[in-house]
Each structure stands twice: as structure tokens, then as C-alpha cells.
Amino acid sequence: MKSQISFRITSAGDVPAADALPASAQSRQALARGIGADAAAVAVIRREQAALEAKAVELLAAAACKADQLGRLPGCSLQHSRRSLVAEVATTLKIPESTAARRIDEAELLSRILPATLAALARGDIGYQHAQAIVREARSLPVGASGEFENAALAEAVSLTPAQLAGRSRLLRERMHPETIEARHREAREERAVWIENEHDGMASVVCHLPAASAFAIDDTIDQLARALHSPEETRTHAQLRADGLVDLLLHRDGEIAARARGIRANIAVTVPVMTLLGRSDEPGELLGYGPIDIETTRRLAAGAPSFTRILSDPITRQRLSVGREHYKVPADLRAAVVLDDETCRFPGCRRRADRCDLDHTTDWAHGGETSLDNLAALCRRHHTLKHQSDWQVEPGDRRALHWRAPSGARYTTRPPDHRRPHRAVTNPNRPPGNVPRRQPQPLPDEPPF
């Protein structure tokens, strides 16, 4: 099969030299439009690449089907035919066998249980990384729940980056899984561990696999410590201060940094339905930045919480409610409402946590904008500065939507996450309670039979 993609790459000669341009608004707009046109051309190429990736998925799935047929022939072994398939794909594509095995597994899942995702990839509506994000979460759902999950994930995929979709898909999977979070968490927490991953140039990564509430509390403690270490004389970046603070906490427990950390109390935000606290509902709490957590952890955190912030919400739509304020400074309760509603920075594609962002008046205070939930949005410092110091523009919309306009004229809309909970898929009543069976790749023997 041969595929051909035609596109045009402009040369440096297509763009006039900067010193030859008149210093006028017209040339500024022309350059902005040119940047937008170049970006749009790249987007066309990306759509064509996605269509080719879909074709590759279909071919790998077909090859896997042939390998299964071969393995069922008299005198053949399914395990060895699958191993041969992986080796064939790896050597042909010049990729590691582990990568080949993953691509084959993804192709089978997309072809068999995620046909709408494969169709969206073929149209170029999503990229392969988007498809991988959906596959990653769908593989751990029972087949009966995968269709509803796929529809919900695809509805958001076209407007999200792969990283954003990965986070949203994980949240959807948690909310839609037919088994309760309690049963799954009890099993998952048994796998908690800490290990080292070697990196280049004398570096290594410490990986901690922990319950989400503990991990987020550790992260917040490190972040507060790093902010406390900032000073006019400090030359280290915030990321470096976080890393150095962690080292000092663990290895220099009698030092100045560790002593300063003793006064820090970790802050995490958990949204708890009041009926859950009263023991009249099994609806889980939600950890800001993560998603649903088990009821036992929710109640334990609530019992030890030094304070509560009451956030009123519509019982049907779950949209949070607020009233306008007449002063510029954002009160603590209103800030909490914005952070909980936005969850991340509201610039297109940004995933910076809202509790580490600035709160921006969408319509400037100086231009009549109110300090209210409808006119406030979380923007990280980078994008807050971009809004005020560049030609990017933003206008408010219904239900706290933000309509962004790039200097090129391209338009993007961001909305707060949907806080309504999709209903769980119904488990098979004839299946005994316990773990949902998960599809695993065919096991292969470690040694040849001789």
C-alpha cells in the first residue's frame, strides 16, 4: 500500500525581512495572520497523519487476527504465533518488541471494542495520542461499560489536548466504573510502593505509588515549602526549590529547611456530599485535581479537617452558585468556589492546577467587571501575563465559558469541567461480587520448548 501526502513548505524567501516591514498595524496584522495560516497548515498535516495512523491500526489488528488463526491450526501454538507476530512487527518497524506488543494490543482494542474512537482517528478528528488515552482507561472497564465511556470521552476529545484527555478519561473511568471505588481502592492500595528509575547525566527519578489523598498532601507540603523559600536573593527556580526541599526533608531532618517545614500543614480540597457525611449516601467524595476517592478516606479527611467551605450547588445540574461582590479583592470563599469550579487554568490546553493560579477578572475591574463567580477565572501566571501583555483577547460566555481569540483571528472556547456525575454501568447480577475481569494480553512462555 502506498500513501501520498501533498503539502507546501514555505521558504525564508516567502517572509519579508523584519527590517523591510513598515512599522504599522497593517504589517503587524499580516504577520499575525501568516502565523495563523502556518499553524493551520500544520493542523491539516496532523489530520492526514491521524488518518494514516488509523489505517496502521486496522492493518495491525488484521495481522493479529491472522496470527490467532495461524495459532489454531493443527500442530501450531497460539502463544508462539503471537510471539512471532510481535517479533515480525518489531523488526519490520524497527521498534522494541515491548512497543510492538503495545501497539498490537491497542490496535485490537480499538478495532474490537472502541470502533467510534477508531472512526474519529480515521477522520482526523483526534490524534493517535488521543486514542491511546481512551484505550488506556477503557482496557480496565468491563465490556458492557466501555461503549458509554467511549461516547463520553469522545464528546470531549475534540477540544482537549492528549494530556487533558488523559486526565478527563481517567476521571470518567473512575465515575463510570460499575464497581464501587471502595472495592477497587482496597485492592489498588496493596500495590503502593516506592522505586527508583535511572535517568541520564547522573540523575534518577524517585517514583511513589500512593493513595491519591496522601500523594496530593505530600505534593502540597513540598509546594508550600518551596514558596516559603522564595526570596529576592534566591536564584533557584520553583521546581528546583521543590526538589531541594524534598531532599532536605528526607535526608537532613535536623536542618533549617526541615524545621521550617514543621510549621506547614498540607492543604487538599475534597468535595463531600453532605449525605455521604451523614451516612445516608454512598456517593464518593472528589479530591480536587484527581477525582473520586473512597468513602472511608473521604470521611476520615472530613473528620480531621480544620475547616469547611460550604459551596452551594444546583441539585440537578451540580452547577455551583454564587452572588456578585462589590470589591476588587476576591474573598476566600469566592476564591474557593472559582478554584473548585475551574480545577485548572482556563487558557486553552493548559493543565496548571487552579489552586496554583491567579484569579483574573475576565472583564477588567477597571472596565466595569465585577468580582463574581461569573467574571472570575483561574489563569496561571504565564497565561495571565499573556492575556494582558499580548494581542490575545478573551470574552465571557454563558455558564462561565471563555471565548479566546488568538492574534491570528483563530477562536477557541474553554469551559469549566462538567461536574455532573455520569451514572455507573450496571454490573452483571449473575456475576459474584469481586474484581471486574480485565482483558490481559496472551501470556507467552519465557523459554522455548527444548
Residue 219 in this model has a pLDDT that exceeds 80: yes
Residue 244 in this model has a pLDDT that exceeds 70: yes
Write out pLDDT tens, residues 160-189: 999 999 989 998 998 888 888 888 899 999
Coil, helix or strand for 226?
A: helix
**Is the distance from CB of 282 to CB of 276 less than 8 angstroms?**
yes
Q: Mention every residue, 6+ apart, whose C-beta is less than 8 A from residue 191.
A: 209
The residue written with cell numbers 521543590 in the block is 242
- Residue ranges of the domains in the chain? 51-178, 205-261, 270-304, 332-414
311 vs 3, residue with greater confidence: 311
Strand boundaries in 221-369, DSSP class E: 270-271, 285-287, 291-293, 358-361
What percent of the chain is modeled with pLDDT above 90? 52
20 vs 265, residue with greater confidence: 265
Residue 263 in this model has a pLDDT that exceeds 70: yes
Which helix H or strand E contains 244, and what residues bound it? helix 238-251
Nearest to 404 by CA among 346, 320, 354: 346
Indicate the pTM of the whole model.
0.73
Strands ordered across the beta sheet of 393-396: 393-396, 402-405, 411-414
Residue 127 in this model has a pLDDT that exceeds 80: yes
Most confident of 115-129, 342-356, 387-401: 115-129
pLDDT band at 29 (very low <50, low <70, confident <90, very high): confident
Residue 243 in this model has a pLDDT that exceeds 80: yes
251 vs 259, residue with greater confidence: 251
Coil, helix or strand for 272?
A: coil
pLDDT of residue 324: 42
pLDDT of residue 435: 39
**Mean pLDDT throughout 190-196?**
95
- The contacts found for 5-8 with CB under 8 angstroms, 24 or more apart, are 5/45, 5/48, 5/52, 7/41, 7/44, 7/45, 8/41
pLDDT of residue 174: 85
pLDDT of residue 6: 38
pLDDT of residue 396: 93
pLDDT of residue 423: 55
pLDDT of residue 27: 82
Residue 447 in this model has a pLDDT that exceeds 60: no
pLDDT of residue 323: 34
pLDDT band at 446 (very low <50, low <70, confident <90, very high): very low
**Mean pLDDT throughout 377-396?**
94
**Mean pLDDT throughout 122-126?**
96
Distance between CA 142 and CA 362 in Å, rounded? Answer: 43
118 vs 292, residue with greater confidence: 118
Coil, helix or strand for 138?
A: helix
Query: DSSP readout, 21-66?
Result: S-SSHHHHHHHHHHHHHHHHHHHHHHHHHHHHHHHHHHHHHHHHHH
pLDDT band at 272 (very low <50, low <70, confident <90, very high): confident
pLDDT of residue 427: 45
Residue 104 in this model has a pLDDT that exceeds 80: yes
Strand boundaries in 199-256, DSSP class E: 204-209
pLDDT of residue 67: 95
Where is average pLDDT lowest: 13-27, 97-111, 298-312?
Answer: 13-27
- Mean of all residue pLDDT scores within the chain: 83
pLDDT band at 286 (very low <50, low <70, confident <90, very high): confident
pLDDT of residue 54: 97
**Mean pLDDT throughout 311-337?**
58
46 vs 282, residue with greater confidence: 46
